[in-house]
Chains A and B, each alone.
Chain A
Amino acid sequence: MTAVQDTPVSRRLSSVKHIIIICSGKGGVGKSSVAAQLALTLYVSSADARIGILDIDLTGPSIPRMLGVDGSGVHQSSDGWVPVYADASDARLACMSVGFLLKNRGDSVVWRGPKKNAMIRQFLSDVRWGDLDYLVIDTPPGTSDEHLSLMEHLSPVHDRLSAVIVTTPQAVALMDAMKSLSFTRAVKLPVLGIVENMSGYVCPCCGEISNVFSTGGGEEMARREGVPFLGALPVDTELVSLLDAAEIVPKEGSQLPEAEQRGFGLARRYQETPSGKLFKKILETLLDTLLATERRISSN
């Protein structure tokens, strides 16, 4: 091992086992939705896994809404910022996003690079994550300030980093995903694989599968580039509604406890969606690659 740099970020993240960065060149392909699904699937895959999800999309944070913690606030403690726990009192699913820092959710964050850089550093060094098995980082589209800053600040923990690339099957999105892949190569970030999102849509009326955004492109790209293909997720209206509304209307007469109503309920209902079932397989492949990658890194 080479000498590990000691920085506030490395000290803070020393208790985090794996850091998975979700990226995609194109916007709106489902990075945040895949990040949220990954966190939820990890959450339900074991009874004591502790997961963190960090949203560094500073000008368009979506994670708070998707995990049903929209409107929550962050508190300061003597040991740093306390993340928002989506599963309330269980405190196994910690979230941090710039969305929690805004007074009003319609407020825009109009920042240039240097301020974004500072915010990302603070997110990495000042959030009291505690012990985490996985930290999932959701990024904005592109390959610019946020990504460069992230890689810079995470360089002391580079051996625990890996990335997942999300794309949709259209040529336009694949082209941008390819740029993201070039980026990961340039910064020597191991890629766990490619997820093809919005791959086909099942008509709820007649069951006909329409390839709204074409299909198969992600798998093709993975094969061409020698990157594992993690799986394809169809457009799932149940999932869209679940993550979009992300609030549970309790059934009449039943009084659900707080934890049930929020994070836990979300995770349970997520498992029942078609995507939730498919994502289990994706997670298996992803964890296999993760282990293989880490074995390779540690043996070097």
Chain B
Amino acid sequence: MLAVQQPLASVPDPRSVPENAPEHCPGTESELAGKSAACEGCPNQDVCASGTAKGPDPALPFVRERMTQVNHKILVLSGKGGVGKSTFAAQLGWAFASDPDVQTGIMDVDICGPSIPTILGIASEQVHTSAAGWSPVYVQDNLGAMSVGFMLPSSKDAVMWRGPKKNGLIAQFLKDVDWGALDYLVIDTPPGTSDEHLSIVQLLKESGIDGAVLITTPQEVALQDVAREIDFCRKVGVRILGLVENMAGFVCPNCKTESQIFRPSTGGAARLAKETDVELLGSVPLDPRIGKSADYGVSFLDEYPDSPATSAYLNIIQRLKDILGDP
């Protein structure tokens, strides 16, 4: 039983626990592998005890091979849902791809709620298989995307998968998708800090992740979840490129007065950034047209170049490029 006062004390290194492990699995890389009480009755007990399970994931060499052609890998994370992760990932993709010489890919690892196909306006597309692997769906010549949304017979279908199946698909996305040579791979994640996040970090460890962009909104409930995400990044050793505050302020289209829909009751992202020593890349005001663009699958940056949100996005993206050391 978990001790109530210290629930985290017994948590093993999350990276070494197999997806289908018993509840208190010590992790295959642990000294106690195959020897702790929780291992009793586990079908893999003997394998773990013999020490041979300490080897790396068999998918890793294939992922590494595929990822040698990808220059920058950027994660878009947030502990909280609905703060604009997918929207930001899509804008980032579009902004990178506005330079015709830059090849960009967007990978959506939100298996249960994929939004990327809709936001990019390619919801009805399907994935094709070739000898080289799965072909991404292209929005334009230099912007490809991959999502579980392209694989479902109907958008109404729910993907009711537990962790191991989700991880299997993520591994396939990384090793079987024929991205070709990419300058940027933007990875959009589901909310939380769970299977999908651990898997992606684990699988890309050798190839190296350039860093993570964390998205938040100004309320304390969202900031708390993002603080947990920062803690996660530090635990698993992913560099944090910076924090983006979304839905900060709303300009009434009628009277042009700015009001705070999601009031930063505790100082907003600026305070969180300061407290956790993370760079605040910028704040994007709430513009109803952002949501509308996402629903219609058009690029907000191209449609409404005069919106204050567009300039905020572009400044953030420029800053990201600077951090990554690109022109």
List the interface of chain A (C-beta within 8 A of B): 25-29, 32, 57-60, 62, 65-66, 73-76, 81, 98, 101-103, 105-119, 122, 140-145, 147-148, 168, 170-173, 175-176, 178-183, 186, 201, 203-206, 208, 210-214, 235, 237, 240-241, 243-245
Please choose the segment from B62-70, B190-198, B317-325 that sits at the chain A interface, where 4 or more of its residues have CB less than 8 A away.
B190-198
Taking CB atoms, residues of chain A closer than 8 Å to B159 are 143-144, 179
| B305 CB within 8 Å of chain A | no
Pairwise interchain contact B113-A111, C-beta atoms closer than 8 A: no
- 6 new A-B contacts, CB < 8 A, other than A59-B191, A176-B115, are A26-B113, A26-B115, A110-B14, A112-B163, A144-B162, A170-B295
A271 to chain B, nearest CB (A): 20
Please choose the segment from B92-100, B170-178, B229-237 that sits at the chain A interface, where 4 or more of its residues have CB less than 8 A away.
B229-237
Pairwise interchain contact A145-B4, C-beta atoms closer than 8 A: no
Pairwise interchain contact A108-B160, C-beta atoms closer than 8 A: no
- Among the listed B5, B190, B254, B292, which residue makes an inter-chain contact with A206, where contact means beta carbons less than 8 Å apart? B254
Pairwise interchain contact B198-A110, C-beta atoms closer than 8 A: yes
Interchain CA distance A214-B80 in the complex, whole Å: 21
Interchain CA distance A211-B19 in the complex, whole Å: 42
**Nearest CB in chain A to that of B233: its residue:** A108
Taking CB atoms, residues of chain B closer than 8 Å to A26 are 81-82, 113, 115
Pairwise interchain contact B80-A28, C-beta atoms closer than 8 A: yes
Pairwise interchain contact B228-A59, C-beta atoms closer than 8 A: yes
Taking CB atoms, residues of chain A closer than 8 Å to B220 are 65, 244-245
B151 to chain A, nearest CB (A): 14
A194 to chain B, nearest CB (A): 14
| B221 CB within 8 Å of chain A | yes
Interchain CA distance A81-B115 in the complex, whole Å: 39
Interchain CA distance A98-B14 in the complex, whole Å: 18
Taking CB atoms, residues of chain A closer than 8 Å to B155 are 175, 178
Taking CB atoms, residues of chain A closer than 8 Å to B295 are 170-172, 214
Taking CB atoms, residues of chain A closer than 8 Å to B2 are 118-119, 122
A-B contact pairs, 26 of them (CB 8 A): A27-B191, A28-B81, A28-B222, A58-B194, A60-B228, A62-B224, A75-B4, A98-B7, A109-B193, A112-B19, A112-B163, A116-B194, A119-B2, A141-B190, A141-B191, A178-B156, A203-B254, A205-B257, A208-B254, A210-B252, A210-B254, A213-B291, A237-B260, A240-B263, A241-B263, A244-B266
Pairwise interchain contact A244-B219, C-beta atoms closer than 8 A: yes
- Among the listed B7, B23, B262, B265, which residue makes an inter-chain contact with A114, where contact means beta carbons less than 8 Å apart? B23
Taking CB atoms, residues of chain A closer than 8 Å to B250 are 201, 210, 212
Taking CB atoms, residues of chain B closer than 8 Å to A180 are 158
Taking CB atoms, residues of chain A closer than 8 Å to B46 are none
Given contacts A170-B291, A208-B254, contact A115 B191 (CB under 8 A): no
Given contacts A25-B113, A28-B83, A175-B118, contact A212 B291 (CB under 8 A): yes
Pairwise interchain contact B14-A111, C-beta atoms closer than 8 A: yes
Q: Which of A76, A109, A147 has the most CB of B within 10 A?
A: A109
Taking CB atoms, residues of chain B closer than 8 Å to A117 are 23
Taking CB atoms, residues of chain B closer than 8 Å to A101 are 4, 7
Taking CB atoms, residues of chain B closer than 8 Å to A110 are 11, 14, 193-194, 197-198, 232, 235-236
* Total contacting residues, chain B, CB less than 8 A: 83
B1-41 contact mask (Cβ, 8 Å, vs A): 1 or 0: 11011111001001001011111110000000000000000
Ordered nearest first, which 3 A-B pairs have the shortest CB separation? A27-B81, A28-B82, A142-B112
Pairwise interchain contact B158-A108, C-beta atoms closer than 8 A: no
Q: Which of A73, A112, A178 has the most CB of B within 10 A?
A: A112
B37-71 contact mask (Cβ, 8 Å, vs A): 1 or 0: 00000000000000000000000000000000000
Interchain CA distance A114-B252 in the complex, whole Å: 47
Taking CB atoms, residues of chain A closer than 8 Å to B260 are 237
Q: Which of B8, B81, B159, B236 has the most CB of A within 10 A?
A: B81
Pairwise interchain contact A107-B113, C-beta atoms closer than 8 A: no
| B294 CB within 8 Å of chain A | yes
Pairwise interchain contact B112-A76, C-beta atoms closer than 8 A: no
Interchain CA distance A82-B1 in the complex, whole Å: 16
Given contacts A108-B193, A205-B252, contact A240 B112 (CB under 8 A): no
Pairwise interchain contact A59-B194, C-beta atoms closer than 8 A: yes
Pairwise interchain contact A112-B81, C-beta atoms closer than 8 A: no
**Nearest CB in chain B to that of A25: its residue:** B113
**Nearest CB in chain B to that of A106: its residue:** B227
Pairwise interchain contact A208-B252, C-beta atoms closer than 8 A: yes
Pairwise interchain contact B160-A112, C-beta atoms closer than 8 A: no
